[in-house]
Structure 1
Amino acid sequence: MEKQKQSRQLLSLDALRGFDMFFIMGGASLFVALATLFPNPFFQAIADQMHHVKWDGLTHHDTIFPLFLFIAGISFPFSLEKQREQGKTDADIYKKIVRRGLTLVLFGFIYNGLLNFDFEHQRYASVLGRIGLAWMFGALIFVNTRTITRVWITAAILVGYWLLLAFVPAPDGNGAGVFTMEGSLVGYVDRMLLPGRLHLTVHDPEGILSTVPAIATALLGMFTGEFIKLQREGLTDKKKVGGLVVAGAVLLAVGLLWGLFFPINKNLWTSSFVCVVGAYSVWMFALFFYIVDVLNFRKWTLFFTVIGTNSITIYLAQEFVNFSFTSDALFGGIARLMPEAAQPLVVSIGYIVVCWGFLYFLYRQRIFLKV
């Protein structure tokens, strides 16, 4: 960890990142607990969105990971511009990109238990690893190509991935165009090439082949950041918000149509999934950008900003620090005094308070985990 100055560019990004990570930091359990206390269709519908789908389909919980990657993409054009203003050479920029990508892969190994030294049962694929690799390759493409070239590369990735899965059969599967966990080419590649343990035994949702379309998710974020940076006469921030809304509508339409024959599937990170969740990500950023950076309504963002400025910290810390123990010590007695239906809500709120308090201490000390 190191001390750093907090960026004043796109304050909406930290708030949106914090909103996204809130659901990992106990927000999902909070909404499930609300449905337990208030068992009505409204809260139950929200609670149903706090779980991953088993295979095809989409819930809100399936958007958390790709939105985080999308946000990482948005920030890169600004970071690249700053580095070039500082006189950094292309070699310096490449080294930083690769170092960041591989550091996240290493953090993913550690999160999955590398320090237990049980290499036979170690899971090597990870959420952090996919973020690192997809962002890294997306950034390398961004640095070395023009915008139109990036558009064609993104389209080629998505179309190529669909054609590969649709027309190239897995040698141990049931033929081409099989999009099941056991029969897809994605799972076959993981079983053949990934050492150690696969998360779903025969398939890993963060495996090798399905990381390729995730590069397109990162690039969609980079397109968004590049568009927001664009300085053109008559192109106001409000017009940029309108442009993002239109772009999201186009992505949604493409994704839904594509999903008719290439299912929307997070485990496979299908091209239709990239487009549909890309639409959600663009719209969420447009909303936060409009409220925070255009209208300058910022006071409400502190809760989410505290989380967003140390998002990797809280993701890793929850694996290594027993926040539940502290929460139970502080709020367990109160929870046990409550009616049984209310107890999960108190426990969830207590856990969020402890995690947020930890992050707020780091925020006040201006300590941030910088990768």
Structure 2
Amino acid sequence: MSQNTPDSGSQKPETIPLQKIPEKPITPPLETAEKQKKPNPNQRLVSLDAYRGFVMLAMASGGLAIASAMRNSPEILDQYNGTQWESSWKYLWQTLSYQLSHVEWTGTAFWDLIQPSFMFMVGVSMPFSVRKRKQKGDSTLRIWGHAIFRAVLLVALGVFLSSQYSPQTNFTFANVLCQIGLGYLVVFFYVNRSFVTQLIGVITILGGYWFFFYQYMPVEDELAAVKAYLTDVKHKDAAEWSQFEGIGSAWNKHTNAAAAVDRQFLNQFPRYEEQFQDQKFWVNNGGYQTLNFIPSIATMLFGLMAGQLLISNRIEKMKVKWLLQAGLICFVISMLLDTSIWPVNIEQWEWHLVPIVKRIWSPGWAIFSAGWAFWFLAVFYWIIDVKGYKKWAFPFVVVGMNSIAMYCMAQLIRPWVQKSLKIHLTTLDQATGWSVAGSLFSTDCPYAPIAISATVLFVLWLICLWMYLQRIFIKI
């Protein structure tokens, strides 16, 4: 019997499937990865608290009394006379004194940028606040109710704080809290609306306010009475009300349209000033007006635009780029409106179509100050939230998360803190033989007011630190 065996030559070889080697994921370059990085939409932006805290610390510092120390002790400038440091020393103190004081009328200094920065941050915070309330389940009606309550409370608190050194309630509405409260609901209306809608709102408000000033012609009798009041009662000369000529004269101090409105409006309230002719209120000594809240709405709207940009899912680097570009555009526009802020004085090119005046919040000022606020915010956001360097900002965050508390403390208890420091440090000196109080409160040392101001500010910061550690956050 023969056995059939398969022919080995005709047999097909067995096919072994190849095992697929897993591909190693390609890691994009670091630069590409960073460009594709998008923020967590629910993550709290530390930069907002830090910027707000920086602004509030500056406001509470009172400029560290540097400007007043320079006025009362001009010998500070002479400390290094005849040495190689003479010019540098004088330049340093003159610069500090200028930057930590309000300019007389037109132009700007660092001190003038504090209030617009604070108001700008109010707008930045709005979309975050609304989102948080919606996540909690609040209805639109409830959210609007809270906004109305906040606006009324801010105005009331502003009047209260302005009255602490007055013999009766001081009905003035030019301080920052009143200004925010008066314009708050208008800004709130624009939350979560398109950029174009918000921009149209800004243009309408600033354009309308410019026309309101431009078309105003002072009544001759009222103008004469204002000048008489300033001359006879305040002992001022013509320089007090004649800063500009031509088209710019519409923005002169005390004789502008908003000042005329205040002479009608504020005299409807009980006043404690002595009557001159037929009324009590004539001018605000600093030139600040109630109607400043109208162009201030534009300042907060600029902040609202920035806030909606930051809360969006756009790439972080693009957010920084757009903030910087927005600031640059504001600078260009404001410099085209008023040559007084140009870094170089060109006599042939001088015009004041819309003067940059903080005290009456001219439309030019609203645009110019917003440019700085955009840039400040861009720097804080880039360093803290984009690059991740957060630890250095902790002293600012402590204040930024209790900004209203710091503002109220600076207004209400600063004199009490200073008095208490003197009492207890004097007792310490007597017990130890030291001279801490003697040095700090010395009338002979020209730097003593600066040291006192810095010490009081540190005490206020310590209170904010305690509140932060105890998780106590005062919100309105």
Q: Would you say 1:362 and 2:454 are equivalent positions?
A: no
| Residue in structure 2 matched with residue 187 of structure 1 by the alignment | 259
Q: Distance in 2 between matches of 1:286 and 1:364?
A: 28
What secondary structure does 2:102 align onto? Answer: coil
TM-score by length of 1: 0.88
| Residue in structure 1 matched with residue 421 of structure 2 by the alignment | 327
Q: Deviations for 1:17-40, whole angstroms, at most 9, x for unmatched residues?
A: 111112222261265489748742
Deviation at 1:282, TM superposition (A): 0.3
| Residue in structure 2 matched with residue 168 of structure 1 by the alignment | 216
What secondary structure does 2:250 align onto? Answer: coil
Q: Distance in 2 between matches of 1:289 and 1:246?
A: 15
Aligned pairs for 1:252-291 within 5 A: 252-259=331-338, 260-291=352-383
Q: Distance in 1 between matches of 2:312 and 2:171?
A: 44
| Residue in structure 1 matched with residue 100 of structure 2 by the alignment | 50
User: Does the CA-based 8 Å contact 1:30-1:348 persist in structure 2?
Assistant: yes
Q: Deviations for 1:30-88, whole angstroms, at most 9, x for unmatched residues?
A: 65489748742023212211111222221111111110010111011111122223332
Identity over aligned residues, as a percent? 28
Deviation at 1:115, TM superposition (A): 10
| Residue in structure 2 matched with residue 135 of structure 1 by the alignment | 184
Q: Distance in 2 between matches of 1:95 and 1:272?
A: 33
Change (3 A) 1:30 1:295: farther
Q: How many residues align?
A: 360
Change (3 A) 1:290 1:152: same
Q: Distance in 1 between matches of 2:291 and 2:447?
A: 44
Change (3 A) 1:292 1:142: same
Aligned pairs for 1:218-367 within 5 A: 218-231=300-313, 235-259=314-338, 260-321=352-413, 322-328=416-422, 329-330=424-425, 332-335=437-440, 340-367=445-472
Q: Distance in 2 between matches of 1:53 and 1:127?
A: 17
Deviation at 1:182, TM superposition (A): 2.3
Q: Distance in 2 between matches of 1:349 and 1:117?
A: 30
Q: Distance in 2 between matches of 1:188 and 1:32?
A: 31
| Residue in structure 1 matched with residue 168 of structure 2 by the alignment | 118
Letter in 2 for 1:246: Q
What secondary structure does 1:340 align onto? Answer: coil
Q: Distance in 1 between matches of 2:270 and 2:442?
A: 45
Greater Rg over alpha carbons, structure? 2
More helix by share: 1
TM-score by length of 2: 0.70
| Residue in structure 2 matched with residue 22 of structure 1 by the alignment | 57
Q: Distance in 2 between matches of 1:115 and 1:268?
A: 24
- Farther off after superposition, 253-262 or 23-32: 23-32
| Residue in structure 2 matched with residue 210 of structure 1 by the alignment | 292
Q: Which runs of 5+ in 1 are unaligned?
A: 1-6
Q: Distance in 2 between matches of 1:244 and 1:163?
A: 29
User: Does the CA-based 8 Å contact 1:33-1:345 persist in structure 2?
Assistant: no
Flag as ranges the 4+ runs of structure 1 deviating above 6 A: 114-117
| Residue in structure 2 matched with residue 13 of structure 1 by the alignment | 48
- Farther off after superposition, 335-344 or 183-192: 335-344
Q: Superposition RMSD on alpha carbons, in Å?
A: 2.8
Change (3 A) 1:255 1:124: closer
